[in-house]
Amino acid sequence: MVLHVILNLLAALALLGFMVHQQQRSATFTVRVFTGLGLGVLLGAALQAIYGASAPALQTTSEYLDIVGSGYVNLLQMIVMPLIMVSIIAAILKLQGASSLGKISVLTIGTLMLTTLVAASIGIVMAKLYGLSAVGLTSSAAEVARGEYLQGKLGVAKALSVPGMVLSFIPTNPFLDMTGGRKTSTIAVVIFSIFIGVSATGIHSQKPEAFAAFQRFIDVAHAVVMRMVSLVLRLTPYGVFALMAQVVSTSSYADILKLINFVVASYSALILMFGVHLAIVAGAGLHPLRYLKKVLPVLTFAFTSRSSAGAIPMNVQTQTQRLGTQEGIANFAASFGATMGQNGCAGIYPAMLAVMIAPTVGIDPFTLHFIGPLLAIVTIGSVGVAGVGGGATFAALIVLSAMDLPVALAGLLISVEPLIDMGRTALNVSGAITAGTVTSRVLGQTDMAIFQRDDEPGDDDRLVA
């Protein structure tokens, strides 16, 4: 087995070496990301074809690939809090006050919540179109265990309340939140940063020298953090390669085929919602195809990493350096979009699950009496996801428990969860970028020269320069 693992890793290193050579030849960032994606798929498929998904040699190989894949995601998560803090403070100092903060917050959060409502509606329609139902599905040992786990977490979901959610966003110990110690730490850091920025602008006229010194400090910190972000983002193609190779090599194709109807229905809903995002962008006066080309790299990373929070740095960079979104707005949208109003995890997924499970307890899910409360609960519950973590799992728990539906049946889908979650995460990030783009356009803050700029060979490296 050791020899097989060594050969597998040599093959992976050879492909990584090709990608390094590609970077040295100044291939664009987009090309390198998609090269990493394609090579990861090829390596993963080859490894599974040779060994089988559960082979010990493949599991060991996956652990070594995880150093590159998860290591890259960990580096991104490392810079999330510093990026949010210095960027939001710097943006408020430039605004010279808090007058625009209310508009930015309302537009950003409003867009996230509205698109989540639309996403849930699309999920219901796709469930009807594909005839999805949990009636008759059988459970394996893993699925039973997953159902028991969900049942055990039910108390956490039932204990959630809107006032409790709001209170969880307020930082009682900002230093703890800077470590990511709570499930709502990201939003808490945003709020703490707002307080710092607003407090600093308050001394602008009374103590101009102190304000100038603080502004200079933030400018320097911002420059250092952005350089750190650029260094980490240079590793994106390699992270995408390793993450994709892991997913493809360890997926059970038999389990996927067993639930292929749910997989196809889910991706139909996800693709349709991506279309809604493009329509919203077009309605804001931006060319949708140009927009799509510019956001594809970050969506590709989100797809392979399955981490909305990990995508925040690349999300912000994409909005500011490729779409022309004002930096403060980009940080608001990326931060809030990673923790609330997630179109995929908190919109489409729980709505589809509720429709599937309702017939098992004799409820017709396609009546206004069922759909009306479901849409309301999904939309409000999408804020609660930030309060408990776990993304789609807890979004489903919140919705199913509120609708008085059996949560254990959600465990029947565990075998296709990773595959579905890839698309859901990409849609979450797309929703956050859409919210930032629309907010920036409505407030007249979009730099159209940046958006209209064509990406020539090497220009994509502005993203990571």
Tokens 């990990």: give the residue.
Answer: 310
pLDDT at 305: 86
pLDDT at 90: 85
Question: Is residue 458 in some structural domain?
Answer: no
Question: Is residue 465 in some structural domain?
Answer: no
Question: Is residue 418 in some structural domain?
Answer: yes
Structural domain total, the chain: 1
Question: Is residue 146 in some structural domain?
Answer: yes
pLDDT at 456: 45
Question: Is residue 461 in some structural domain?
Answer: no
First-last CA distance in the chain: 42
pLDDT at 144: 53
Chunked in runs of 10, what are the mean pLDDT values of the chain (465 residues)?
88 93 86 91 91 85 91 88 87 67 87 95 94 68 53 56 74 88 81 90 87 92 89 90 88 74 93 97 95 94 86 91 90 84 90 90 90 91 60 77 78 74 92 95 92 63 48
Q: Is the dihedral of CA 293, 297, 300, 306 positive or negative?
A: negative
pLDDT at 39: 94
CA dist 310 and 79 (Å) reads 9
**Residue 205, C-beta contacts closer than 8 angstroms, at least 6 positions apart:** none
Q: List the domain range (segments joined by +) for residue 293.
A: 2-453
Contact between 229 and 463 under an 8 Å Cβ cutoff? The reply is no
CA dist 127 and 269 (Å) reads 9
State both tokens at 260: 């292929």
Question: Any idea what the CATH number is for the domain that residue 296 is in?
Answer: 1.10.3860.10
pLDDT at 348: 94
State both tokens at 160: 């959630």
DSSP assignments along 120-187, one per residue: HHHHHHHHHHTT---TT----HHHHHHHHHHHHTHHHHHT--HHHHHHHHS-S-HHHHHTT-STTHHH
Assign 3-class secondary structure to the chain. Answer: CHHHHHHHHHHHHHHHHHHHHHHHCCCCHHHHHHHHHHHHHHHHHHHHHHHCCCCHHHHHHHHHHHHHHHHHHHHHHHHHHHHHHHHHHHHHHHHCCCCCHHHHHHHHHHHHHHHHHHHHHHHHHHHHHCCCCCCCCCCCHHHHHHHHHHHHCHHHHHCCCHHHHHHHHCCCCHHHHHCCCCCCHHHHHHHHHHHHHHHHHHCCCCCHHHHHHHHHHHHHHHHHHHHHHHHHHCCHHHHHHHHHHHHHHHCCHHHHHHCHHHHHHHHHHHHHHHHHHHHHHHHCCCCHHHHHHHHHHHHHHHHHHCCCCCCHHHHHHHHHHCCCCCHHHHHHHHHHHCCCCCHHHHHHHHHHHHHHHHHHHCCCCCCHHHHHHHHHHHHHHHHHHHHHCCCHHHHHHHHHHHCCCCHHHHHHHHHHHHHHHHHHHHHHHHHHHHHHHHHHHHCCCCCHHHHHCCCCCCHHHHHHC
pLDDT at 309: 80
One-letter amino acid for residue 3 of the chain = L
pLDDT at 417: 78
CA geometry: angle 456, 457, 458, nearest 5 deg: 105
